[in-house]
Amino acid sequence: MEKSNKSNQDKNWIERLHTRSWEMELLIVGFALLVMINVPDKLSGLEVKWKSTISADFINVLLYFVVIAKVASYILLINLIIHVILRGFWIGIVGLNSVYPNGIILNNLNFSSRFNKFLNSKVKDLDKFAVTIDNIASSIFAFTFLLIFIFFSLSLYFLVLILGIAILLVSVEKILPDWLDSPYAIFIFSTIILPYIIAGILAASDFLGLGFLKRIRKNWFSKIYLFLSKCIRVVTLSFLYESIYYTLISNISKKITGIILACYIGILMFLLFTNYSEFGYFTDETTEFVMLHSSYENRIEESKRITNPTIQSNVVSEGFLELFIPYDIHDNELFQNKFPDVKPFKKIGLRTNFRYTSNKDSLNIELTDEEKSKIILDAFKKFYLISVDDSIYHNYNFYFYKHPNADEPGFFTIISIDNLKVGNHLLKIEENPVSDSLENENEPYYIPFWVN
């Protein structure tokens, strides 16, 4: 008897919680919107910082997940806004229904019988309409995370494919150096990579088709497809959200679910991979005719990381330029190729904090930090070619400098421009080929400025 009473109490508590769940939804959504509204920008900043501080390919794979998180934040933000709008609409309907509990009174409208019949069949009462909106609003949370997990699964699938191909190329290359030009390439592709691609296509088609492949009764097909589904299920981690997916497609019309899912994914892909612009005669490329606000320190946006050379202002009246060139980690390999005798202060990449000396090292003369600094800065002075209006500058010195904007490491120098006339001038920073055998990998960077 006591168990029965406790069961009834639990059931009543759950029912009361369900009927008042909209209050918790609005509370959570309001808080989430305040938090999420700045998340995409924060993730963009993290992406820029990551790209400017880490260049190792095996670590940059993690950057892939930052992009996924950014897309997921946009999905969550959009759906939360839709949820707030629907809940506001729902509250309006409930409030109106409480004022006018009789709903629509067609007799008071004095419409013709044809319109009365049409309205009776098509227009819902306020209470039924409120229930429909309530169900949609309550389902948006589950649908939102379903979409996020779908995008995450899609990203995982391609990530595993790319990593698998990369590992395969490295592994087989050691055994068969010229395997890409041999029949082995077709055999390896058809036995390892192609089945994975086919399994992914089948799983995606079945998912968007709301399980139409699972309804095929042929024993041989269901046996093969079950095995492929299990593999894709593990790779994409779809088991984390399949209960949401099957609940929705088993309780809502398959046609409506399929249309909503296909439209939402289609719109998302369209927004991610397309853009619209009518500025046909405007370029975003860095040329001598383009001014970037990020080139002038008096115009740099707060919290934005400096990733390109800068001077103090677009209008200069001091008689000198304060030039800061951020350390571009992607130039490390090129710098080492141009100056193989210049040794870095510390090992590039992953290293331990423990230092040791061997007998071999003790025979070498250890350079002081001052001597190393001079050698490295002199090399970077040769690495860059700095000119103003086609006049190359040589009379300057580089200094190691951490910019106060966000402690960006780089090189700082002051260039005298006393001899320049009042008017428009162009600062150009480019890589110095050093020798005819080495070509520049990066385009020159231009900073237009005015002398006052």
Report residue 12 as tokens. Answer: 């009543």
Return the domain boundaries, the chain.
10-273, 293-348+364-451
pLDDT of residue 57: 61
- Compute the CA torsion angle 263, 267, 270, 271 (nearest 10 deg): -170
Q: Is residue 61 a contact partner of residue 161, using CB atoms and an 8 Å limit?
A: no
Alpha-carbon gap, residue 103 to 359, rounded angstroms: 94
- Euclidean distance between CA atoms 213 and 232, whole angstroms: 15
d(Cα 79, Cα 190) in Å, to the nearest integer? 41
- Sorted by sequence, the CB contacts under 8 Å of residue 196 that are 6+ apart come out as 160, 161, 164
Residue 281 contacts residue 175 (beta carbons within 8 Å): no
What is the Cα–Cα distance from 381 to 328, expressed in whole angstroms? 14
- Quote the CA–CA distance of 346 and 332 in Å, as a whole number: 13
What is the three-class DSSP state of 210? coil
Locus of tokens 């990579």: 193
pLDDT at residue 398 in the model: 93
Spatial distance between the Cα atoms of 187 and 193, rounded to a whole number of angstroms: 10
In tens, the pLDDT along 166-181 reads 777 666 666 656 655 6
Q: Is 102 helix (H, G, I), strand (E, B) or coil?
A: coil
pLDDT for 354 = 53
CATH superfamily assigned to domain 293-348+364-451: Immunoglobulins (2.60.40.10)
Burial class (CB in 10 A: 0-12, 13-18, 19+), 72: buried
CA–CA dist 158, 216 (Å, integer): 27
Residue 306 identity = I
Reading the block at residue 252, the tokens are 């809502």
CA distance 199 to 359: 57
Evaluate the CA torsion angle 48, 49, 52, 55 in order and state its sign: negative
State the pLDDT at residue 450: 93
Q: At what angle do helices 242-251 and 254-273 cross, to 10 degrees?
A: 130
Q: Are 446 and 427 in contact (CB under 8 A)?
A: yes
Distance CA 156, CA 162 (A): 10
Burial of 427 (0-12, 13-18, 19+ CB in 10 A): buried
Q: DSSP character for 108?
A: G
0.95 surpassed by pTM: no
**Residue ranges of the chain with per-residue pLDDT less than 50:** 1-3, 6, 9-11, 13-14, 17, 356-364, 436
Cα(254)–Cα(177) distance, rounded to whole angstroms?
A: 51
Of 178, 170, 149, 381, nearest in space to 242 by CA = 149
pLDDT at res. 1? 47
Do 193 and 272 contact (CB within 8 A), yes or no?
A: no
CA-closest candidate to residue 76, choices 37, 42, 46: 37
pLDDT in tens, 296-333: 988 887 767 888 899 999 999 888 999 999 998 888 88
Pick the closest to residue 370 from 399, 333, 408 (CA basis). 399
